Amino acid sequence: MPMIRHNRGLPIELINHVDLADMPDILGIESSHDARYYTEAELGSTVAPSGASLIGVEDAGGFFAGADVEAVLQEIMAVILPGAYLRLDGTNVPTANYNWVTNLTTTGTLQGGTITDGAVSFTGGVGTGLISLTDGVASWAGNSLTGFVNITATGTITGNTFTDGIATLTGGAWTGATYNGLTMGCAANVISITCGTTDLTVSTDCTINQDLSSTSSPTFNALNVTSLNGLTGIGCVANVISITCGTTDLTVSADCAINQNLNTAASPAFAGLTIGVTLVLASGSITDTTGAISFGNETLTTTTTVTAGTLTIGGGSITDTTGAISFGNENLTTTGTGTFQYITITAPSTNNYTFTTRGTDVLVLQSQNAGSYCVLDLFTQTGNSTENCYFQMFTLGTPANIANREFLNIDFLGSTNTCHISTQAGGIGAVYPMIIYTGANTNQLYLNTNHDVGINTVPDATFEVATTSSEGHQAITIDQNDADQAFIDFQGSASSGVTTNISTCIGAGAVNGPKYASGAGQSGWSFCYGSMVRMEVNGCTYWFPAYKSYTNP
C-alpha cells in the first residue's frame, strides 16, 4: 500500500505497505495496528458475513450466548417469535417495565404483572378501562358479545338480550335456539321444541314441572304423572298408559287423540269415538245405551269369528276377499228372504250339490263331483210309511196363500199306503188334463179331467186309441201269455133283448143274423147257449156272437 511519509523536516518519501500492521504514525514511529480496517460496505452488508456479525457486544449481565450483534439479535428473535414468551417481569429484559410505541400482536401468551396502554390495564387477572375486545372474529364492545363460538361461565351471566345470530334470549324467552338440528324456544314457562322430521329422544330421566304439549305423537318408554287436574296414579310403562280416577268418572270435554292401546277395566262411554288404526277388545264387548250401534256406511272386516245374538244387515251384504264364507257346523236361520247366486251343499260323502239358476226362469240342482249320481230324495221325519210325503208344483197361488190353487201333485199317502200323480185345484182354481208323452208325441197318454183316457188323442170315450195315417201297424195288440186265461173280459148288463150291452140266447128276432133252423120265417141268431156283445163300428151298432164252452152248457 503506497503511503507518503515525512519525518521532522526530512524529505517526504513514498512508502509502499502491504497492510496496516507496520504503518507508522505521524511521528514516523511504527504503531500497533490490525492487519486491516473494515470498509463501510463490509460493515453495512446484510448477507453473510453480515456487518452485524463484525461488531461485538458487551454483555455485562451475561444474558446472551453470542458475542456479536448478529448472534444477539438471533437470540432476541428466538424469544419474541410466535410460540415463545416475551417476559416483562424483568427476567429477560434489562428493566421491569417495557413500552411499545406501536401495536403488540402475539399468537402465544403475553405475561406480565401489569399490562396497560394508559387507559386499559390488566393486573392480577383483572382488567379495567376496557371498552372493546376483539380477535378479528369475536368481539366484546358496549356490553355486547358477538362472534363467539362457545361461552363458558361458572357464575351468572346477566344481560337484556343474549344471541348468537340464530338463537335469542330476551326477557326470559328463548327464540330460534337450535341444538343438533332441534329448534328450541321458551316463553311464559313453556318450552317449545321443533324437530322437523327428526324425533326428539331423551336418553335419561326427565322431570317436567310445566305443561307438555306436542302436535306430533310423542313416545315414552315410561311416563309417570303425579297428578293431572285432580287425577292421580297416571303412568305409562311399555307403551301402556294407566289412569286411576278412584270412584270418579274420567271426562274428556274436548277431542282426545290416543296413539297407543287404550285398556280399561270399566265400561267407558264416548260421545264420539274415532279409531285411526285398530280397535282391540280383550274378552269384552261393544254396547250402546240406546241398544243400537251404527257403523254408518263403513266397512266392518274381521279375519276371525263374529258372534252375534241378532245380526241385522240393512240393504248390505256379507263378503269375503277369498270368495268363501264358512259358518262351520252352525245352523243358519232366517225368517226373511235369502238371495243367493249359488248354494253349494257339501255332502258327508264325496258328492256335493249346487243350487243355481239358468237364465231367469230355471232353478238348477247340479252334482259337483264327476262320476257321482245326482239324486233328489224326499223323506218324512220318521220314515215309517205312516206319514204323507208330497212333491207339488203350483201354477196358481203364492207361498203365503194357496186358498186359490192349481198344482201338480206327486205324493205318498201314509193313511192308505198309496202313491198318486195328479192335478189338483182349490178355490177358484181349475183342474187341468195330465198329458204324458215323449218327443213330439204330445198326446201320447192323455188323462182328461172327465176321467177319459186317450192314446195319441184327446179321448171322446172312456178309453180311446188313435193312430196316425202312416202308423204302419195295428192300433192294438194283445199278448196274453197266460194260456188258460181269456184275452178280454166283457162285463156289462145282460138281457134277452137289445136294450143292454149284452144280449142272451137267440135275440128273439131283435137283431139280424142267420135264420134259426126251426122256422124259415123266424128272425134272429141261429144258436143257443150263447150271447151277443154290443159294439160300434164307425158309429153303427153291431152284435158280436159269443159262444159258451161246450162243457159248460
DSSP secondary structure letters along 25-50: -TTSPBP---S-PPPHHHHT--SSSP
| Burial class of residue 532, CB neighbours in 10 A (0-12, 13-18, 19+) | buried
Query: Does a structural domain hold residue 434?
Result: no
Strands 445-447 and 453-455 come out as antiparallel
Q: How many CB atoms neighbour CB 484 within 10 A?
A: 5
How far apart, in whole angstroms, are the C-alpha atoms of residue 457 and residue 435? 10
How far apart, in whole angstroms, are the C-alpha atoms of residue 311 and residue 291? 13
Query: Does a structural domain hold residue 538?
Result: yes
How far apart, in whole angstroms, are the C-alpha atoms of residue 544 and residue 356? 61
Q: Please, what sign has the CA dihedral across residues 65, 68, 72, 75? A: negative
**What does the CA dihedral 350, 355, 358, 364 come to, rounded to 10 degrees?**
70
**b/e sequence 505-528, b meaning 16+ C-beta within 10 Å:** ebbeebbebeebeeeeeebbbebe
Backbone φ and ψ of 507, nearest 5°: 85, -5
Contact 65, 75 (CB under 8 A): yes
Q: What is the pLDDT of residue 84?
A: 45
Shortest CA distance to 20 belongs to which of 36, 2, 4? Answer: 36
SS3 of residue 194 by DSSP: strand
Strands 231-237 and 222-228 come out as antiparallel
| Burial class of residue 503, CB neighbours in 10 A (0-12, 13-18, 19+) | buried
Query: Does a structural domain hold residue 524?
Result: yes
Q: How many CB atoms neighbour CB 353 within 10 A?
A: 18
Q: Which cell is 524 given?
A: 134272429
Q: What is the pLDDT of residue 287?
A: 74
Contact 20, 34 (CB under 8 A): yes
Q: What is the pLDDT of residue 395?
A: 94
Q: How many CB atoms neighbour CB 236 within 10 A?
A: 17
Q: What is the pLDDT of residue 528?
A: 46
Query: Does a structural domain hold residue 510?
Result: yes
Q: How far is CA 482 from CA 144, 478, 485, 487, 549, in A?
A: 142, 12, 6, 9, 18
Please give the single-letter amino acid code of residue 455.
I
Contact 243, 224 (CB under 8 A): no
Walk along the chain (553 residues) and give the pLDDT tens digit of each residue.
Answer: 455 554 555 555 555 555 555 566 555 565 565 666 777 888 788 888 888 888 888 888 888 888 888 888 888 877 665 444 455 444 444 444 555 545 666 666 766 677 777 777 888 778 787 777 777 778 877 667 777 777 777 777 777 777 766 777 777 676 766 655 666 666 666 667 766 666 667 767 777 766 677 766 677 767 676 666 556 666 666 556 667 666 666 676 667 777 666 667 667 777 677 776 666 666 667 777 777 777 777 777 777 777 776 766 666 677 777 877 777 778 777 787 777 777 777 766 677 888 888 888 888 888 888 888 888 889 999 999 999 999 999 999 999 999 999 999 999 999 999 999 999 999 999 999 999 999 999 999 999 999 999 999 999 999 999 998 888 889 999 999 999 999 998 888 988 777 888 877 554 455 555 544 444 444 444 444 467 788 889 888 888 877 766 554 4
How far apart, in whole angstroms, are the C-alpha atoms of residue 320 and residue 299? 12
Q: Please enumerate in sequence order all residues whose Cβ is within 8 A of that of 31, keeping only pairs 6 or more positions apart, or say none.
A: 23, 24, 25
Please give the single-letter amino acid code of residue 122.
F
Query: Does a structural domain hold residue 542?
Result: yes
Q: How many CB atoms neighbour CB 154 within 10 A?
A: 4
Shortest CA distance to 428 belongs to which of 389, 391, 450, 401? Answer: 401
Q: What is the pLDDT of residue 232?
A: 62
Q: How far is CA 283 from CA 20, 81, 264, 280, 293, in A?
A: 127, 85, 12, 9, 19
| Residue 309 CA neighbour count, 13 Å, CB half | 5
Question: Maximum CA pair distance of the chain?
Answer: 249
How far apart, in whole angstroms, are the C-alpha atoms of residue 166 and residue 164? 5
How far apart, in whole angstroms, are the C-alpha atoms of residue 455 and residue 439? 15
With 0.75 as the threshold, say if the pTM is over it: no
Q: What is the total count of domains within the chain?
A: 1
Q: Please enumerate in sequence order all residues whose Cβ is within 8 A of that of 221, keeping only pairs 6 or more positions apart, or say none.
A: 237, 238
Query: Does a structural domain hold residue 533?
Result: yes
Q: What is the pLDDT of residue 444?
A: 92
Query: Does a structural domain hold residue 496?
Result: yes
SS3 of residue 196 by DSSP: coil
Per the structure, the complete domain to which residue 551 belongs is given by 490-553
Q: How far is CA 299 from CA 243, 278, 319, in A?
A: 32, 13, 10
Q: How many CB atoms neighbour CB 44 within 10 A?
A: 11
Residue that is written with C-alpha cell 417481569 in the block: 89
Backbone φ and ψ of 518, nearest 5°: -75, -20
Q: Please enumerate in sequence order all residues whose Cβ is within 8 A of that of 511, keeping only pairs 6 or more positions apart, or say none.
A: 498, 503, 523, 524, 525, 532, 543
43: alpha, beta or left? (left if phi > 0; alpha if psi -120 to 50): alpha
How far apart, in whole angstroms, are the C-alpha atoms of residue 533 and residue 553? 18
- The DSSP string of 371-431 is T---------SS-SS-S-EEEEEEEEEETTEEEEEEEEEEEEETTTTEEEEEEEEETT---
Q: What is the pLDDT of residue 479?
A: 94
Q: How many CB atoms neighbour CB 543 within 10 A?
A: 20
Query: Does a structural domain hold residue 528?
Result: yes
